[in-house]
Amino acid sequence: MKNVLVSGCNGAMGQIICRMIKEDPDMKVIAGVDLLNTSIGNFFSVASDCSMVPGKTANKTEVIIDFSSPKATSALINFAQSWEIPLVIGTTGISKEDETKMEDAAKVIPVFYSKNMAYDVCVFKRILEVAVPLLKGTDIEIAEEHHRRKKDSPSGTAIMLAETINKILNNEMKIVYGRTEKREPNEIGISSVRGGTICGTHTVKFIGENDIFEIKHTALSREMFAEGAIKAAKFITEEGRKPGLYTMDDLF
């Protein structure tokens, strides 16, 4: 049984992960960290920078799953590296500087990072690898929709899809967020909608002169992201797993 520390345990995703781990015979939550100094279930919550985690708890922690905030994640990377604890990061809105910090930490510990933990989004990327070369003469637009409480915009998944498309097209495209002017050639546009309790929808549109080709993914429950994170945690704690930066492509 793997001992898990959940970062962001009081958030919507954190609570789902804690519940799902409780139902998993191979894993156990031994601690949680969050901005709120309160307790959930049968484990404790401390400051999100991990500064209050007792050494005996850190020593027992075998993997960390993080769905917190970019600021908390930045501190968490340092904590995980110093205690040599494998780390799964599902937090969105991570800066380029912290991505570099992940790469440095991955020289010491296994780090699993994805802007979207859902398996279906990995399938989405594979579909794009086939579709984009066939539809490269069209105007490409990405639309994403999320609940009103989501802090980052555009979503990390939308950015990941745009970067995937751009890479397929030899990085010749310009990514435009929230278009306010006339479309120019060689652009990939990203637009965002925030409202209600939308779990997450991503649509890539290939708009031609006479037709529109769409690829769309709609998340119906946050459990799909928690399931992916738990699989990632099991993956990076497998016996013999070496330090390195892992993604959904390694998992599936």
pLDDT tens profile 99-113: 999 999 999 999 999
Angle, vertex CA 40, rays to CA 38 and CA 43, nearest 5: 95
Q: Is 132 helix (H, G, I), strand (E, B) or coil?
A: helix
- How many angstroms separate the most distant Cα atoms in the chain? 65
- Asked if 194 and 155 touch (Cβ cutoff 8 Å), the reply is no
CA 188, 196, 8, 239 torsion-angle sign:
negative
User: Residues, the chain, total?
Assistant: 252
Note the pLDDT of residue 118.
86
115, 146, 202, 217: which one is catalytic?
A: 146
Residue ranges per domain, the chain?
2-117+223-251, 119-218
Query: Average pLDDT of the chain?
Result: 90
147 given a catalytic annotation:
no
Q: Using an 8 Å Cβ cutoff, are 14 and 75 in contact?
A: no
Confidence of residue 41 (pLDDT cuts 50, 70, 90): very low
What spatial distance separates the first Cα and last Cα of the chain, rounded to whole Å? 22
Residue 164 has pLDDT above 70, yes or no: yes
Backbone angles phi, psi at 152, to 5 degrees: -100, 145
In this prediction the pTM is 0.77
Please indicate whether residue 60 is annotated as part of the active site: no
Q: Give the count of alpha carbons within 13 A of 175, CB side only.
A: 17
Question: Is-contact 226 16, C-beta < 8 A?
Answer: yes
Q: Is the pLDDT of residue 42 over 50?
A: no
- Residue 140 is predicted with a pLDDT of 97
CATH class label, 2-117+223-251: alpha beta
Prior bond of 133 cis (ω within 30°): no
Q: At 172, which amino acid appears?
A: E
Does 44 have pLDDT greater than 80?
A: no
Question: Among the residues of 61-212, which ranges form H helices?
Answer: 70-83, 96-105, 119-134, 156-168
Position 136 scores a pLDDT of: 87
Tokens of 31: 């601690």
Q: What pLDDT, on a 0 to 100 scale, did the predictor assign at position 119? A: 84
| pLDDT confidence of residue 12 | 86
**What average pLDDT does range 219-236 have in this prediction?**
92
- pLDDT (0 to 100) of residue 98: 92
Residues of the chain above pLDDT 90, percent? 66
What residue type is assigned to position 223 of the chain? E
Cα separation, 149 vs 158, in Å, equals 17
Calpha distance 50→8 (Å, rounded): 11
Burial of 182 (0-12, 13-18, 19+ CB in 10 A): exposed
For residues 46-71, average pLDDT = 79
Residue 151's pLDDT band, with cuts at 50, 70 and 90, is confident
pLDDT at 133: 97
Q: Find the Cα–Cα–Cα–Cα dihedral 45, 46, 48, 52, rounded to 10°.
A: -150
The pLDDT assigned to 120 comes to: 86
Instruction: Say which of 150, 205, 231, 234 is annotated catalytic.
Output: 150
pLDDT at residue number 50: 65
- What is the dotted CATH code of the domain comprising 119-218? 3.30.360.10
Contact (Cβ atoms closer than 8 angstroms) between residue 169 and residue 139: no
pLDDT attached to residue 49? 58
Both tokens of 99, joined, read 């991505």
Whether pLDDT at 37 is above 60 = no
